[in-house]
Structure 1
Amino acid sequence: MNFQEEFEANRLQWNARVESHVASKMYDVPGFISGDTSLKKVELTELKNLEGKKVLHLQCHFGLDSLSMARMGADVTALDISDTAIEKAEDLNEQLGLNAKFITANLYDIKKHLPAEEQFDLVFVSYGAICWLPDLTAWADIIASYLKKGGEFYMVEMHPYIYTLDWDRFTPEYHYYNKGVYKETVTSSYADDTPMELTEYFWVHSVDEIINSLMKKGLSMTKFREHDYQTYNCFDNMIERAEDEFVFKDVKVNIPYLLEVKFQK
């Protein structure tokens, strides 16, 4: 896999986002420190009875969801490519007296940092993660290899349809099926208005590619659901139609915003 330039550019742009994300209203770190969970209502319906469970959280950003699960009694190991994000996650972990473990690494290098014999009850992925990955076959292999027999993979992700759109005109601009890497200039963050001038690389993966990459590794799908709202106010021109349900103000028809899946080994 020869995407080192792309991965490094993405690492740098995620490093650049961390400070503003920590300070943003969207992530609400003060509320989290005071006891609020960062997990949203969609995933809270599934993330129950975590006491004593071993959880692997892939692409954890600065760790709020990881630490939320640790607060629920899970034994959490979490990974992210951004060293700045992991430093903040570790600071919060220490400040809150939790025992989550954090790894700074490219997802595809995880086996250099986490022993292959480690086995988990749950592997968790959420919100804007897999668009940074070129190869879902290798991603699914990592998930399957770290799940114990009977363990579950659970993901709540941006629906691939959203990534096909020009978000100013709401017309298709990107291929729905994976046609390779896209390169764009980042001028602001989804969490606030902090200006930036950085390069990002991303990939669009269809529902077909996501589902089949996991099934080909022997995992059995136990839940599939599409949601017609976003749980974060993370795009321009959104309105909150109900609590924690955001939709594009200028789109008058139902479209899929989130994809929720669960698989069992």
Structure 2
Amino acid sequence: MEFKKEFEANKKQWNARVEGHVASKMYDVEGFMKGETSLKKVELAGIGDVKGKRILHLQCHFGLDTLSLARLGAETVGLDISDTAIDKANELRNELGLNASFVCSNLYDIREHLSTEEKFDMVFVSYGAVCWLPDLKEWGNIIDDYLKEGGEFYMVEMHPYIYTLNWDTFKPEYNYFNKEVYEEMVETSYAGDTPLNMPEYFWIHSLQEMMAPFLSKGYQLKAFQEHNYQTYDCFDDMIDRGEGEYTFRKLEVDIPYMIELKFKK
């Protein structure tokens, strides 16, 4: 696949984020180690009972959600491109003794590190994942390779509309129907105060692009939900309107912040 430069740059900046994220209030590792879940109310309701299920978590960062799923009784495998993140995930797993394992790989190279003979009851994707992927058709093929017949793909993700906006003016600045890679300099992360000053590369994908890989394979759409709030305080100048539902302080109109998708194979 192309985009070697982009993948390497993104891996570098995600490695640089880990230390600050682990120490951040947003990720609350201290609370997690004391038994709190990192999963939000949206995905907890969306995934249902996962006890006894095998779950593949793609783009898992340093593994809090992967480990939270294991705490719910699932056997989990988490994958991420960042070796620094995976090292931290393994450290947390070892300390907690949970039924989880981790793979360090570019998502598109997963077959080189995890046999497709491994089958899962669920593939799980959450929050800020697909924007790092140039090819959602191949993403769908990968998910299909690891999902057993009758298994479910569940995703809770940023609504693509959010990515079209300038977050200072709230005016559309990026193409919704987009085929090109965007490059931006990142000064700091969305969690923690670690200075980055690094380039990042990302892609905007429409809802159609997200759903087409599964509809084209005959998957059954079990759930589709748009949410007018964000579960993380991950953008500048957000307010908590109650129950951990965050919106832009300066924006007076209702916009979609998140989507949920669930497909059954």
TM-score (norm 2): 0.99
Task: Write the distance in 1 (CA, Å) between the matches of 2:201 and 2:253.
Answer: 30
Q: Secondary structure at the match of 2:241?
A: strand
Task: Write the distance in 2 (CA, Å) between the matches of 1:254 and 1:213.
Answer: 29
Report if aligned partners of 2:23, 2:192 keep a CA contact under 8 Å in 1: no
Find out whether 1:110 has 2:110 as its counterpart: yes
Aligned-residue offset at 1:50: 1.3
- Per-residue deviation, residues 90-112 of structure 1 (Å, max 9, x unmatched): 00000001120100000000000
Find out whether 1:119 has 2:140 as its counterpart: no
Aligned-residue offset at 1:179: 2.3
Q: Secondary structure at the match of 1:260?
A: strand
Q: Read off the aligned partner of 1:256 and give its amino acid letter.
A: P
Alignment of 1:6-85 (within 5 A): 6-85=6-85
Report if aligned partners of 2:64, 2:89 keep a CA contact under 8 Å in 1: yes
Aligned-residue offset at 1:244: 1.0
Aligned-residue offset at 1:6: 0.4
Aligned-residue offset at 1:3: 0.8
Report if aligned partners of 1:15, 1:82 keep a CA contact under 8 Å in 2: yes
Task: Provide the residue aligned with 2:253 in structure 1.
Answer: 253
TM-score (norm 1): 0.99
Q: Read off the aligned partner of 2:194 and give its amino acid letter.
A: T
- Per-residue deviation, residues 117-149 of structure 1 (Å, max 9, x unmatched): 111000000000000000000000111111111
What percent identity do the matched residue pairs reach?
Answer: 63
Runs (5+) with no aligned partner, structure 1: none
Report if aligned partners of 1:21, 1:27 keep a CA contact under 8 Å in 2: yes
Task: Write the distance in 2 (CA, Å) between the matches of 1:261 and 1:48.
Answer: 13
Task: Provide the residue aligned with 1:149 in structure 2.
Answer: 149
Task: Write the distance in 2 (CA, Å) between the matches of 1:84 and 1:105.
Answer: 12
Aligned-residue offset at 1:208: 1.0
Aligned-residue offset at 1:46: 2.1
Aligned-residue offset at 1:217: 2.5
Task: Provide the residue aligned with 1:217 in structure 2.
Answer: 217
Report if aligned partners of 2:74, 2:99 keep a CA contact under 8 Å in 1: no
Runs (5+) with no aligned partner, structure 2: none
Aligned-residue offset at 1:177: 1.2
- Per-residue deviation, residues 12-68 of structure 1 (Å, max 9, x unmatched): 000000000000000000000000000000001022321110000000000000000
Report if aligned partners of 2:228, 2:257 keep a CA contact under 8 Å in 1: yes
Number of equivalent positions: 265
Report if aligned partners of 1:122, 1:151 keep a CA contact under 8 Å in 2: yes
